[in-house]
Structure 1
Amino acid sequence: MDFDLPESALAVREGVQAIARKYDQDYWSRCDADKRWPEEVWRELVEGGWHSLAVPEEHGGAGQGLLELAVALETLAAGGAGGAASFMYLLTPAFGGLTIARHGTGEQKREFLPRIVAGEIETCFAITEPDAGSNAMNISTLARRDGDHFVVSGQKIWISGVERADFLVLVARTTPAAEARPRTSGFTVLLVDVKDAVAQGTLTYRPIPKLGTNTVASSMVFLDEVRVPAGRVLGEVGQGFAVLWDILNPERILAAASGVGFGELVLRVACDYARERAPFGRPIGANQAVAFPLAKVKAQVELARLMTYKAAWLWDRGRPCGSEANIAKLTAADAAWQAADRAFQAHGGMAYSLEYPVARMFRDARIAKNIPVAEELVLAHIAQHELGLPKSY
């Protein structure tokens, strides 16, 4: 067994660190308060090719894998971005670059991947619906064939980044759920031209007011007879479930990488404060009541990192990684939340002040326990598939 990261991942860590250290917590707090995408950081990631790590070299990318993407995301989060980093690596690098590189036709790869590398187009992902959250089987958005197009109608919810996306990686049904046999058949993944559909009036969206992660909007999306060329199907018509899992597992692994980096960031903020704050003549960090909970969180972060790297390593080799992806997401999300909670407590009353970053970190960390999959469903998966217990849902 070799626990050293490959040279490619170490180079990624160094390159992303060089960008992250230019932006302090005041920058990230301003982006959050202004509900503004961190455009300056994004431009640097694009210019350095740090967003297109998983795009094959023949299309201008670095030809690396999910492990390198995970290390980049973890590094950006730990370097100061926190929860904002997750969307910067999920929306276009993963949902767009990684998915098209893995499942696109030769023509699709030539059309989209060089433009992703150049920063000319961005993507987002649409699966969740008001009546189909964690249960993808209930998706009702329907794509019907009309000559050389599909015509799509339906509604999606909690779609992050649609306001800046050029293309939407959309999961729809080409066979209604009631007719699909087996239920996992009849799914089709489509590349929807967002700006064209908006101009045609067939796609509209409405941002949802939310508690945190305000550097990107999350929206309700309404599709009303959106026309999509048949040449923009990812994978096979009606067989999109295989593509879907190749989106969801990397999403969970990258969410775990975000949690690991977020945990490291919050621990650093908490420990800096615990070393400096001395209301009784010595740093509060000298008190075990402060130090021990932070030390425990550090152990949790390190364990989550190991599982995150393992899951990414498995995915890169085409090996089953569903349980590992789920375990990584579960442990990393909890580690990030525990870090934020303990940092909040260590700051005492000052944690409630927006002059300190812990309030923002506290609210941003909490959502990771619910998305991209609720921890209860992760536990149900582990109970069924790893422990052999009866299915509970």
Structure 2
Amino acid sequence: MDFQLPETAQAVQKGVRELCADFGTDYWSRCDAEGRWPEELWEALGAGGWLGLAIAEQYGGAGAGLLELAVALEEMSAAGAGTAGAFLYLLTPGFGGVTLSRHGTPEQREELLPGIAAGTTQTCFALTEPDAGSNALALATHARRDGDDLLLRGQKVWISGVQRADWMLAVCRTTPAAEASGRTHGFSVLLVDVKEAEKAGTLRYTPITKAGNRIVQSNQVWFDDVRVPSHRVLGEVDHGFVVLWDILNPERILAASGGVGTAELALRLAVGYAREREVFGRPIGSNQGLAFPLARVKAQAELGRLMTHKAAWLYDRGEPCGDEANIAKLTAANAAWEAADRAYQTYGGMAFSEEYPIARLHRDARIAKNIPVAEELVLAHIATQGLGLPRSY
């Protein structure tokens, strides 16, 4: 058993760390304060090939895998982004690049993957609805046949990145639940041309005011008979759950990577402050009341990193990784939150000042316990799938 990262991942780790040295906490705090996408970093990542790591070389990518993508996100988060940085790798390299690489037709891959690898084509993902969050089986958004096309109608909520997206991966019902042959039958994943639908007046969205993660807007979205040609279906009509699981597992793994990087960043800041800040004639880090909680977070972060790398490794090998992806997400999200919270306590009253990045990391890390899936649902999955306990729902 070899716990050393493969050479490809080590090269990514070194390269992204060097690139992100110019985009530290001050840069991310400015983007957060201005509520703007980190455009300069995005362009640098695209130019350096760091967005196409999991895309085949024939489409302009690096031909690596989800592990390399996860390592890149981890380094970027640790450099200063925190959990907000996960959006840079989730929205397009993850939702778009990884999904199309595995489930896209040759024509879809040829059309979209080169732009995704370069960062010039951007994607977003639409699953959650007002009455169907974690319970995807309750989706009400539906698409009906109209000749060779599908007409998409319904509503989504908490859809991030619509403003920047060229394409949206939208999950909907194509067969009513009453007519479906099974619980997961009758769902499809459609590729929606966002700009075309906006121009036609069939897709509209409204931003949601948020407490954190301000670099990207999250939205309510309405579909009013959005026309989707049949060749824009990902996978097969009515069999979209196969595609959906290959969206959700990488989503959890990449979110976990952001959590591990955030824990690393918060710990680095807290330890640095604890070494320098003196009270009662000695550094506050010499007090076990501060030192022991930080040491415990360090242990949590390392465990989260191991499970995240394992889950990504399994995914790249085409092996089942649902349990590992969920455990990674749970462990890393809690490590990020505990690290940010302990950093807040270490800085004391100064953490409340926007002069430091602690308040930003703290508010951004909290939501990671709820998205992309609430930790209670993760625990329910582990209990039923990992332990074989009876279902509670």
TM-score after normalising by structure 2: 0.99
Q: Which residue of 2 aligns with 1:88?
A: 88
8 Å CA contact 1:155, 1:223 repeated in 2? yes
Q: Which amino acid aligns with 1:267?
A: L
Question: Aligned runs of 1:226-265 on 2, under 5 Å?
Answer: 226-265=226-265
Q: Which amino acid aligns with 1:146?
A: D
Q: Is 1:368–2:373 an aligned residue pair?
A: no
Q: Is 1:222–2:232 an aligned residue pair?
A: no
Question: Aligned runs of 1:8-157 on 2, under 5 Å?
Answer: 8-157=8-157
Q: Is 1:383–2:392 an aligned residue pair?
A: no
1:23 shift after superposition: 1.7
Q: Which residue of 2 aligns with 1:355?
A: 355
8 Å CA contact 1:140, 1:177 repeated in 2? no
Q: Which residue of 2 aligns with 1:159?
A: 159
1:289 shift after superposition: 0.6
TM-score after normalising by structure 1: 0.99
The C-alpha deviation readout for 1:316-359, integer Å capped at 9, x for no partner, is 11111100000000000000000011111111111111111111
The C-alpha deviation readout for 1:161-210, integer Å capped at 9, x for no partner, is 00110000111110122322202001111110001111111100001001
8 Å CA contact 1:153, 1:226 repeated in 2? yes
- Of 60-69 and 19-28, deviating more is 19-28
8 Å CA contact 1:139, 1:177 repeated in 2? no
Q: Which residue of 2 aligns with 1:292?
A: 292
Q: Which residue of 2 aligns with 1:182?
A: 182
1:117 shift after superposition: 2.0
- CA separation in 2, counterparts of 1:382 and 1:194? 36
8 Å CA contact 1:191, 1:232 repeated in 2? yes
1:59 shift after superposition: 0.9
Q: Which residue of 1 aligns with 2:316?
A: 316
- CA separation in 1, counterparts of 2:188 and 2:44? 34
The C-alpha deviation readout for 1:215-260, integer Å capped at 9, x for no partner, is 0000000100100111110000110000000000000011111100
The C-alpha deviation readout for 1:16-64, integer Å capped at 9, x for no partner, is 1111100232211110011100000000000001001011111111011
| TM-align CA RMSD | 0.8
Q: Which amino acid aligns with 1:8?
A: T
Q: Which residue of 2 aligns with 1:325?
A: 325
- CA separation in 2, counterparts of 1:252 and 1:381? 13
- Percent of aligned positions that are identical: 68
Aligned length: 393
1:80 shift after superposition: 1.0
Q: Which amino acid aligns with 2:159?
A: I
Q: Which residue of 2 aligns with 1:191?
A: 191
1:100 shift after superposition: 0.5
Q: Which amino acid aligns with 1:183?
A: R
Q: Which residue of 1 aligns with 2:169?
A: 169
1:130 shift after superposition: 0.4
Secondary structure of the 2:266 match is helix
Secondary structure of the 2:282 match is coil
Q: Which amino acid aligns with 2:269?
A: V
